[in-house]
Structure 1
C-alpha cells in the first residue's frame, strides 16, 4: 500500500512539473525556430561551416544535409573508438574491436544508444565525453531539426522550402539542448551524480572482495542521454547504478528529463501551425497512451508472485521502476533503472509493445512528434474513406502521393524488426547468443533487441549476448535504416504538403482538434501496430504469460 501511494505521488509530481513547463518551454522553442536574429556564436558557426543562414532548402537538400552531417559523425565516432589506445584519458583501455566500434557509432549517431559492451570496461573518458556525449547532443538536435522542418511543411503554402538544416541544428544545440543540459547537469551533481576525471576508486565489498569502480564525467553524459532521449549509460548497470542515479529524487528528475522536450514540442507544433488546439490534440493522444502503458506495466508487475523484485532496484520499488520503464520505452530512450528481462512475461511484453507503437507516446526528441503526425495523416485518410470525400489535415489535401509516403514510413520499421528477428531465429549461430533460456522467453529477447534497434530505443531486454559479429553488424544496419529512412520519407511528405495551397474548411472537414479525432488517432496507433506485431507477440510474451 505504501509503495502504491508513493508511486501515485511520484506520477502526480511528474505530471504537475511537466504541466508547469509546458507553455513556457513549448513557446520558447517556437520562438527559437522563428527568430530572425542569429547570435554571434551562431554566426561564427555558420561562417566556419560555409553556410548562408538566409538560404532555405528544399526537402531533398534538407535530407541530404541530414545524411551528410550524420555520416561525418558516424566516421568520426568510429575512428575515435578504433584509435582509443593512442588517445589521452584512455585509462589504459585498448582500441575497440571493429564490429563493436561500428555498432556503437551507428547506435549513437542514430540516437539509439544500444550498448553491446560494458561501458566502464570498454570506453575511456575521452571517447565517453568527446564521442558518445557529443553524439547525444547532435543526434538529438537532428531529430528536433527534422521535426521543425515537418512543422513548416504543414504551416507553409505554395513553396518548396522547409528551412535550413544547419540553422535549425545550430539553434537546437545552442539555444535548447546545451543550456538545458548545463542546468540539468548541475542539478544532477547536486543530487549526488558523479562528475570527475578519476581513473577509479578501489573499494571493499560487503563480502571482503576488492573492486575498482571508475569515476568519470557521468553527470554531463547522464543529463543529455535523458534530455535527448538517447539512453545508454556511463556504467553497465545504467540508471540503476548509484553513480548515475543516486536516489529516488534523481530517479524522478531523470524521468522528467526524458519526457520534457517531446511533450513540450506539441505546443511548439500548435504555435507554428497557428492553431494551439492541434498541439493539444496530439498531446492528448500521447498522454493517453503513456498513461495506459504505465499503469498496465505496473499492474502486471504488482500482481506477480510476492511481488517479483528480481531485476528491480530496491531503492525505488515497483512503481518507480515501471514508471521509468514505461517512460523510456515510450520515448525511444535506452536508459533503464531495472532489468526488463526480469519483469513478468506480461509486464515485459507491455514494455515491448509500447516500443512497437513506433515511439510516439510521446516518442523521441523530434521523432516522436513527426511520427505521430504521420499517423495523424493516416487517421484523416481513413476518416475520409468513411465519409467518401478527399481527406484533409490542417488544410492540406492527402493525395495518393502523400499516402504512398505514409505507407512506406509505417512499413519501414516493422519490416526491419520482423525481418531481422526472422533471420536471427533462423541462424543457429545467432540463436546460440540467447543465454540460459529458450522457448518463448528466448524469442522475446531477440524480438526485443530488434524492436529496440529498429525503433531507435536502445534499451535491452537482457539475456542476449549481442556482442557477436552477427548482432553488431545487423543491429547496426537496422539502427541506421530505422533512423534515416523514416526521416527521408517524412521530409518528402513535408515538402509535398508545403507546395500545396490550403483548401477551405467545409461542413465535411473532419475537425482534428476535437475528442473524436483524438479517439480515432489513438485507435489508428494501436490497431496498425497490433495488426503488424500481434503474431510475433503471441509467440513471445503472450505465449510465456499464458
Structure 2
C-alpha cells in the first residue's frame, strides 16, 4: 500500500510536467498566444503605473542589476513593517514588534526564497505582516527564481538574441503563473477545511473545562503560494504537520504536487526553448532518477524503525513514527521530506530532527546537491550548470572543444561555474566550523555527540540551499544565529545567481556551431548516466567528509 501511494503521486507529477511546462513556455516565449488575452489588461496597467511602457531587451548585467535592486526595495519595505507591526492594522491578537536581528533574519529568509523561521508563525507575526510581508515575499522571491531560469534558458538556447527584460518576465511570472494557480489552490484548500480568516484567535473550552486560545488566520492563501513558490514558511510553528495547514492525506498529496510541479515542469519548458524536447527529458530523467534513489533510502530507513527502540524491545511495526503524524504514516512522511528538500521548499509535515540517522542524511544530501529539481527556477539552472560541467569534462577527455546546445564552452564560462560550485560548500562548511569553535554556536545544540553536529550542519546547509527546513532541536533564535544564517542565505542566493547569469550573458553572444558527427550528444541515455555521475561525484568529494562526522557516524554508533 505504501509503494502504491508513492507511485500514484509520482505518476501525477509526470502527467503534470508537459501541460504545465508548455504553458510556462508560452508565458515567456514573447510570442502572441492564448495566455495574452486573460492577463494583458492587468500587465498593461502595471507597466503603465511603473513607467515601463517600453521594455527593451536587457544585457545580462542590466537584467541582474534590476533583479537585485528590486529585491533590495522589497527587503527594506518588509524590514520596516516587521519592526513596527505591533502598531499597524490587522493585529487583533496584539502581536508585538519583531526584535531587530530576528527581523533581519526573517526578511532575508523570505526574500531569498529560504523561509527559514526562527520564530513561531502564529505568535510572532500579525495578520498584516503575514499578508503584506510573508505572502508578498513568497510571490516575489518565487518570481525572481523563475525569471533567473528563463533568462538562463534564453542565454544557452538563443541564437544571437538577448536574455529578455527582467521586469516583464517578473510581472508575467506573478500574473500568469503564481497568482492564478495560488487563487485556484486557495479555494481548493478552503474547500478541504483549511482556515482562511482575519478573525482573532478562537476561544475553546477543553474537556477539563479550561479555556484555550486556538490560532487561526489567512492560512489557506499562505499555504497555496508557500508550496507553489517553493517557499516553505508556515503560518503555524508546526508548519505542515499542523492540522490547520495540512489536515488530511489528500491535502498532503496536493501540497507535495504544488511544491514539485513548477520545478519539474521547467525542464519541459527548457526543452521547448531548445527546440529539442529530448533535452528537457534528459534533465527531468536525471533529476527523477536521483530523487527516486534518495526517496528509497529515506523510506527504507524510516520503515525499519529506530535502532535504539529496537534494542529496547519496543514494537515498531509501523516504522519510526517518532515525530510523525499518524494521518500521514511513513510513506507520506518520507515522500514529503524528500520532495521538500529536493525542491528546496522547506515545508515539513514531520520533525526532521527525529528522523533516523540515514533518514536525516537524505534531506541533508539533497540540499547539499541543490539540483535535484530544486526551487522554482534555480534548481533547473543548477542542474544545467552540472550539464555544462559534464560536457566540459567529456570534451577534455577526447581532446575536443566542448559544445553545449551549439555553443562552445570556454574558460570564461568554466571559471564562472567554478565560482558557483565552490561558493555553496564554502558558505556551509566555514560557518559550521566557526559555530563549533564558539560558545554562541555550541550553546544552541540540544543533543550532544554526532547528532549535535548534524543539527548545526543542517541549519547552515538549509540556509545556503535556500531551503528553510531545520533540525528544530537547535536553539536558533539568538543574535548569533539570526545574523550568521541571514548572511549565509544572502550569499547562497545571490552569488550563484550572479555567476550563472554571467554564464548566460556570455553564451548568448556566441555564434551557434552546427552539430556534426563529432559533436558530443547531450540528449540520450549515456548523457543521463554521465550527468548523474558528475552530480554525485562533486557532491561526495565536497560533503562526504563532514557527513561522516554527523549522520554517518551517528548511524554507526547505534548499530
Same fold, judged at TM 0.5 (above): yes
Closer, same or farther: CA 394–293 of 1 in aligned 2, 3 Å = same
Q: Quick check: 1:127 aligned with 2:129?
A: yes
Q: Quick check: 1:490 aligned with 2:500?
A: yes
Q: Quick check: 1:250 aligned with 2:245?
A: no
The 8 Å contact of residues 6 and 331 in structure 2, kept in 1 or not, is answered as no
For residues 55-90 of structure 1, the C-alpha deviation after alignment (integer angstroms, 9 at most, x for no partner) is 010000000011001001111111110010110112
Q: Quick check: 1:333 aligned with 2:345?
A: yes
Q: Quick check: 1:390 aligned with 2:401?
A: yes
Closer, same or farther: CA 206–370 of 1 in aligned 2, 3 Å = farther
Q: Distance in 2 between matches of 1:406 and 1:205?
A: 58
User: In the TM superposition, what is the alpha-carbon distance from 1:208 to its structure 2 partner?
Assistant: 5.4
User: In the TM superposition, what is the alpha-carbon distance from 1:392 to its structure 2 partner?
Assistant: 0.9
User: In the TM superposition, what is the alpha-carbon distance from 1:225 to its structure 2 partner?
Assistant: 0.5
The 8 Å contact of residues 53 and 167 in structure 1, kept in 2 or not, is answered as no
Q: Distance in 2 between matches of 1:120 and 1:156?
A: 47
**Alignment-derived partner of residue 231 in structure 1:** 232
**Alignment-derived partner of residue 12 in structure 2:** 17
The 8 Å contact of residues 428 and 464 in structure 2, kept in 1 or not, is answered as yes
Residue among 543, 554, 558 paired with 1:533? 543
* Runs of 5+ consecutive residues of structure 1 not aligned to the other structure: none
Residue among 131, 137, 140 paired with 2:139? 137
User: In the TM superposition, what is the alpha-carbon distance from 1:413 to its structure 2 partner?
Assistant: 1.2
For residues 496-539 of structure 1, the C-alpha deviation after alignment (integer angstroms, 9 at most, x for no partner) is 00000011212221110100000110111111011000110011
For residues 104-149 of structure 1, the C-alpha deviation after alignment (integer angstroms, 9 at most, x for no partner) is 0000000000000111111010000111001101100010011000
Closer, same or farther: CA 207–113 of 1 in aligned 2, 3 Å = farther
User: In the TM superposition, what is the alpha-carbon distance from 1:473 to its structure 2 partner?
Assistant: 0.4
**Alignment-derived partner of residue 157 in structure 2:** 155
User: In the TM superposition, what is the alpha-carbon distance from 1:411 to its structure 2 partner?
Assistant: 0.9
The 8 Å contact of residues 104 and 486 in structure 2, kept in 1 or not, is answered as yes
Q: Distance in 2 between matches of 1:126 and 1:311?
A: 31
TM-score by length of 2: 0.95
Q: Distance in 2 between matches of 1:19 and 1:40?
A: 33
Q: Distance in 2 between matches of 1:208 and 1:8?
A: 44
For residues 158-178 of structure 1, the C-alpha deviation after alignment (integer angstroms, 9 at most, x for no partner) is 34x210000000000000110
Q: Distance in 1 between matches of 2:546 and 2:356?
A: 18
TM-score by length of 1: 0.97
**Alignment-derived partner of residue 414 in structure 2:** 403
Residue among 516, 524, 527 paired with 2:534? 524
Q: Distance in 1 between matches of 2:54 and 2:381?
A: 24
The 8 Å contact of residues 464 and 489 in structure 2, kept in 1 or not, is answered as yes
**Alignment-derived partner of residue 372 in structure 1:** 383
Q: Distance in 2 between matches of 1:418 and 1:15?
A: 33
Q: Distance in 1 between matches of 2:379 and 2:18?
A: 19
Closer, same or farther: CA 540–207 of 1 in aligned 2, 3 Å = farther
User: In the TM superposition, what is the alpha-carbon distance from 1:485 to its structure 2 partner?
Assistant: 1.1
The 8 Å contact of residues 10 and 252 in structure 1, kept in 2 or not, is answered as no
Q: Distance in 2 between matches of 1:285 and 1:210?
A: 53
For residues 439-482 of structure 1, the C-alpha deviation after alignment (integer angstroms, 9 at most, x for no partner) is 11001000000000000000011210110010000101110111
**Alignment-derived partner of residue 438 in structure 1:** 448
**Alignment-derived partner of residue 30 in structure 2:** 35
Residue among 93, 96, 107 paired with 2:109? 107
For residues 232-270 of structure 1, the C-alpha deviation after alignment (integer angstroms, 9 at most, x for no partner) is 200000000000000000001100000000111111110
Q: How does 1:82-93 map to 2 (within 5 A)?
A: 82-90=83-91, 91-93=93-95
Q: Quick check: 1:314 aligned with 2:326?
A: yes
* Runs of 5+ consecutive residues of structure 2 not aligned to the other structure: 307-315
Q: Distance in 1 between matches of 2:260 and 2:246?
A: 17
